[in-house]
Amino acid sequence: MACLAACASPGAPATGGPDAAAVGSPVAPAAGASRQLRTAFQIVDELGFCDIDHRGLLLDFGTEALAGRSGHPWGGAAAVVASVHDGASWARVYERKLDLRVLLPAEGRVFVAARAAARGAREADVSLDGSPLGRLSLGSGEIRTSATAPTRLPVDAGLHHLKIRFAGRGRAPEEPYAEIDWVRIAPPDEIERTYGAPTLVSLLAPGAQLAGVPHRALGLRAPASIRCTLRIPAGARLRAAVGMHGSGAGSTAFGVREDGAGAVELMRVDVSGGEHASWTDIDVPLEAYSGRIVAIELSAVRTTGTGQLLLGDPVVVVPVPEPVATPRARKVVIVVWGGVERADLPPWRGTETPHLPALAELARSAVVFDEHRAPATLVASVLGALLGGRPPRAVGVADPGARLPAKVLTLGAVAHQASVRTGMFTAVPTTSSAFGFAAPWDKFVQYSPAAMQPASAPIEEATRWLTEPATPSPVLAVIHARGGHPPWELTPPEADKLPPANYSGYLSPRRSAQVLADVRARRGRLSDADRERLDAMFHVALSREDAALGRLVEALEESGVWDQTLLVVTGDVSSARATLFQDGGALDEDLLSLPLYVRFPGGALGPRRVALPTEVYDIARTALVALGLAVPPGMLGRDLGAIASGQLDDALELRVAARDDAYSARWDRWALVGPADGEPRLCDLGLDPTCAVDRSPFFPIVTESLLRRLAAFQVQTGTGAPERESAIIDAETAATLKIWGAYE
């Protein structure tokens, strides 16, 4: 184990204490090193997820601008189908009621207008938060713009529910109620000129040129603004080129809008059009908002003449150090422990852990990721997502009875196809061959808890396999160990020596999993003595697994490949004693938080603690990077080496966990949680870890952005999901699952 510390990168501190590097912002480069810039947010590319305001908020139907505004956040969008005709994007609406979420930036009276064409309906009743606004006339087949009267009283700023209910004659099943081009929610104004809707297509000026210099630009006519929400990375700056196309002059403002703080203008620029028009480059520092979720606001304050104000290539950039990626490795070893909680492990335990020397050494010398999160609380779902690099639904293992389909392209399959020697060793029944995890490894070994084999058998077998006589091909090993999960391999005399003294309860090492399953099923409770005995047996089991991990490291050192090894140690589901090892529990944050240690080849980047968010998909991608393999299309994740070096502080990173009936989408300290078919709640986990209070009324900017990003995540990951396959549960597998406590 000495090399865990001794092989750390030159000059790195020897412990993970106060002198260890902590990553929550980009790492400072060495003296004299050049600073590069990375685009963290490209506004033109993300325009569909921004709010477009021109004389009121505009919803451009038939585009991604509708994502997250309609339907249930997780259960699916409303029945609308995009189409294109008459030079515009449209949405064919097949539901009689269309419920939309809209974010109004300021208090005031509003009216609702729509450009639509009647199909099955001729009229539509409009209400805001349940209060009727009036009726829209859709005409008789022609395209028409109509509006309601303004509200009598001002409407508060914030999130609102806009409901459109179609009325009129019945329709054929294949006929939509109407086709909608856009909907506008606006304050009454005295501007006499005709309203020109700023649809996404009309805003884009991809080949705009001034003085012979081209830019991908956005074209605005005052008064108008674009608001895009993101988490501001450290060192971020807003950059753009501003100009005027055509005659006249214009004035544009750049600022931020934040929940509870209103809008702040950071810079204003005046430009002129005409034959000598040119670009004016702007550079707005955003450092004051580092780590906060805000809406960046780009506004056309004033335009004169017939010209159009142009915003060329508006981006948020961040400084990054010289590129650092996970070094190449000859051996990649991923150890996943079952039934562990971060609070029991170093460095999160906060006290010395002499019973876990291998993990303690990793905590001192490797890279520890503090914000690692699972995509589910079902063990097979987490392992399927880790190996497949996509969410559980996308790899077909979203429920307890599902089997990982053979057609899913996993980390093991990619490596196997590239002539990497691959092996998986599991002691967990739900990642056995019955659940589809046996293919396509070169070597697959499963250990039943019913067999008289030590819990450390998978690690011991993997150690022998990894240290076989050297071959020219690289090696990938995935080990799914029991960790602290019962049953535990203690003899009766060994158990009698554990606290509490003279224990007379019913928890025995071999039958504990079944007993705990029965307690869960009956919603029973353990006595204090039972809890004390459970804790004692758990810690003995965990210490033996730790010893096996230590022997694995020593064997790699002795075989001379330790410096060419990427070692990842993590957990499957944080469902140990708190939930009595329940599989598939609630999506509580403490159950989704997982340990993650990464010892990069040669000890690179360590020792270090990283506060940036990570997910299980990052492990799969990092393994492929270390093996020098291309990442398949559709596989999620980021290179953990790049994250640890501070390169990838992603402004849009949304971590989603889900069950069939619920979801939890995490963004920074915020989580949007709720049932699949109900209204969500916004949790401020920094102040309220149990989510006792719904914060959505007080943080509408954060809430709306989470809703829309969650909808985009579903679209991104929901295509191409394999057909669900059922696990093959024969008599032997059923008996094994019962001993494991999986059947209640």
Query: Around 224, how many Cα atoms within 13 Å sit in the side-chain half-sphere?
Result: 23
For residue 194, tell me if it sits in a domain: no
**pLDDT number for residue 718:** 78
Q: Give yes or no for a contact between 368 and 605, defined as CB atoms under 8 angstroms apart.
A: no
Closest by Cα among 315, 326, 307, 305 to 281: 315
Q: Are residues 429 and 300 in the same domain?
A: no
Q: Model confidence over 523-551: pLDDT tens digits?
A: 888 999 999 999 999 999 999 999 999 99
Q: Give yes or no for a contact between 654 and 340, defined as CB atoms under 8 angstroms apart.
A: no
Confidence of residue 648 (pLDDT cuts 50, 70, 90): confident
CA distance 288 to 49: 24
Q: Model confidence over 593-614: pLDDT tens digits?
A: 999 999 999 999 989 999 999 9
CA distance 323 to 446: 40
Share of the chain above pLDDT 70, in %: 93
For residue 495, tell me if it sits in a domain: yes
**pLDDT number for residue 511:** 92
Domain holding 91: CATH number?
A: 2.60.120.260
Q: Are residues 515 and 661 in the same domain?
A: yes
The stretch 495-517 carries a mean pLDDT of: 93
**pLDDT number for residue 715:** 81
pTM of the full structure:
0.90
- Residue 192: partners with Cβ closer than 8 Å, 6 or more residues away: none
Please name the residue that has the structure tokens 């998978």.
Answer: 458
For residue 473, tell me if it sits in a domain: yes
| DSSP 3-state of 719 | coil
Q: Are residues 507 and 552 in the same domain?
A: yes
The stretch 100-129 carries a mean pLDDT of: 94
Closest by Cα among 43, 64, 105, 69 to 651: 43
CA distance 69 to 694: 19
Confidence of residue 650 (pLDDT cuts 50, 70, 90): confident
CA distance 17 to 395: 39
- Mean model confidence pLDDT for the chain: 90
DSSP codes joined into one string, 183-226: EEEE------SPP----HHHHEEEEEEETTEEEEEEEE-SSEEE
Res. 8: pLDDT tops 90: no
The stretch 414-429 carries a mean pLDDT of: 96
| DSSP 3-state of 550 | helix
- Residue 457: partners with Cβ closer than 8 Å, 6 or more residues away: 427, 447
Q: Are residues 481 and 548 in the same domain?
A: yes
**pLDDT number for residue 33:** 39
Q: Model confidence over 182-191: pLDDT tens digits?
A: 999 999 988 8
CA distance 297 to 229: 9
Domain that holds residue 311: 39-46+201-320
Higher pLDDT, 171 or 126: 126
CA distance 365 to 568: 13
- The domain boundary residue, chosen from 186, 218, 234: 186
For residue 180, tell me if it sits in a domain: yes
**pLDDT number for residue 712:** 85
Tell me whether the omega of the peptide bond preceding residue 607 falls within 30 degrees of 0, making it cis: yes
The stretch 197-213 carries a mean pLDDT of: 93
Structure tokens at 536: 């004692």
**pLDDT number for residue 76:** 60
For residue 34, tell me if it sits in a domain: no
For residue 385, tell me if it sits in a domain: yes
Confidence of residue 170 (pLDDT cuts 50, 70, 90): low
The stretch 191-220 carries a mean pLDDT of: 92
Q: Are residues 514 and 661 in the same domain?
A: yes
Tell me whether the omega of the peptide bond preceding residue 392 falls within 30 degrees of 0, making it cis: no
Q: Are residues 384 and 504 in the same domain?
A: yes
For residue 277, tell me if it sits in a domain: yes
Q: At what angle do helices 528-558 and 457-466 cross, to 10 degrees?
A: 10
The stretch 641-653 carries a mean pLDDT of: 82
Higher pLDDT, 16 or 585: 585
- The domain boundary residue, chosen from 135, 156, 186: 186
Q: Give yes or no for a contact between 422 and 412, defined as CB atoms under 8 angstroms apart.
A: yes
Q: Are residues 92 and 206 in the same domain?
A: no
Q: Go through 334-358 and write b for each residue having 16 or more CB atoms within 10 A of its CB, e for each that does not.
A: bbbbbbbbbebbbbebeeebeebbb
**pLDDT number for residue 574:** 78
**pLDDT number for residue 653:** 83
Q: Model confidence over 241-264: pLDDT tens digits?
A: 999 999 999 999 999 999 988 899
- The domain boundary residue, chosen from 320, 349, 381: 320
CA dihedral 138, 140, 141, 143 (to 10 degrees): -40
**pLDDT number for residue 12:** 33
Res. 169: pLDDT tops 70: no
Closest by Cα among 306, 299, 267, 314 to 55: 299
Q: In what order do the strands lie in the sheet with 123-128?
A: 97-104, 158-167, 123-128, 131-137
Distances (CA, A) of 538 to 338, 416, 447, 531, 541: 11, 36, 19, 10, 5
Domain holding 293: CATH number?
A: 2.60.120.200
CA distance 616 to 369: 12
**pLDDT number for residue 706:** 94
Confidence of residue 32 (pLDDT cuts 50, 70, 90): very low
Q: Are residues 99 and 66 in the same domain?
A: yes
Closest by Cα among 343, 721, 358 to 554: 358
Confidence of residue 7 (pLDDT cuts 50, 70, 90): very low
Closest by Cα among 385, 561, 386 to 467: 561
Query: Around 106, how many Cα atoms within 13 Å sit in the side-chain half-sphere?
Result: 9
Q: Model confidence over 284-333: pLDDT tens digits?
A: 999 999 999 999 999 999 999 888 999 999 999 998 777 678 999 999 99
Distances (CA, A) of 114 to 61, 137, 180, 186, 492: 10, 9, 7, 11, 76
CA distance 391 to 656: 8
Q: Are residues 267 and 342 in the same domain?
A: no
The stretch 82-109 carries a mean pLDDT of: 92
Domain holding 436: CATH number?
A: 3.40.720.10
Q: Model confidence over 343-375: pLDDT tens digits?
A: 999 999 999 999 999 999 999 999 999 999 999
Q: Give yes or no for a contact between 309 and 271, defined as CB atoms under 8 angstroms apart.
A: yes
Q: Are residues 348 and 378 in the same domain?
A: yes
Structure tokens at 611: 């506060």
**pLDDT number for residue 439:** 87
**pLDDT number for residue 24:** 42
Q: Give yes or no for a contact between 356 and 538, defined as CB atoms under 8 angstroms apart.
A: no
**pLDDT number for residue 566:** 98
CA 701 to chain centre: 18
**pLDDT number for residue 36:** 79
CA distance 110 to 186: 5
Closest by Cα among 474, 466, 427 to 443: 466
CA distance 39 to 47: 15
Confidence of residue 448 (pLDDT cuts 50, 70, 90): very high
Res. 112: pLDDT tops 70: yes
**pLDDT number for residue 78:** 64
SS (H, E, C) 55-97: CCEEEECCCHHHCCCECECCCECCCEEEEEECCEEEEEECCCE
Q: Are residues 10 and 154 in the same domain?
A: no
Structure tokens at 121: 């309906």
The stretch 51-69 carries a mean pLDDT of: 92
**pLDDT number for residue 9:** 35
Query: Around 341, how many Cα atoms within 13 Å sit in the side-chain half-sphere?
Result: 17
Structural domains counted in the chain: 3
Question: Which range (161-165, 422-426, 584-588, 699-703) has the least confidence?
Answer: 584-588
The stretch 649-663 carries a mean pLDDT of: 86
**pLDDT number for residue 171:** 64
For residue 99, tell me if it sits in a domain: yes
CA 680 to chain centre: 17
Confidence of residue 28 (pLDDT cuts 50, 70, 90): very low
Q: Give yes or no for a contact between 665 and 658, defined as CB atoms under 8 angstroms apart.
A: no
**pLDDT number for residue 172:** 73
CA distance 440 to 311: 51
Closest by Cα among 364, 367, 363, 322 to 22: 367
Q: Are residues 283 and 345 in the same domain?
A: no
Q: Give yes or no for a contact between 243 and 274, defined as CB atoms under 8 angstroms apart.
A: no
**pLDDT number for residue 671:** 96
**pLDDT number for residue 174:** 80
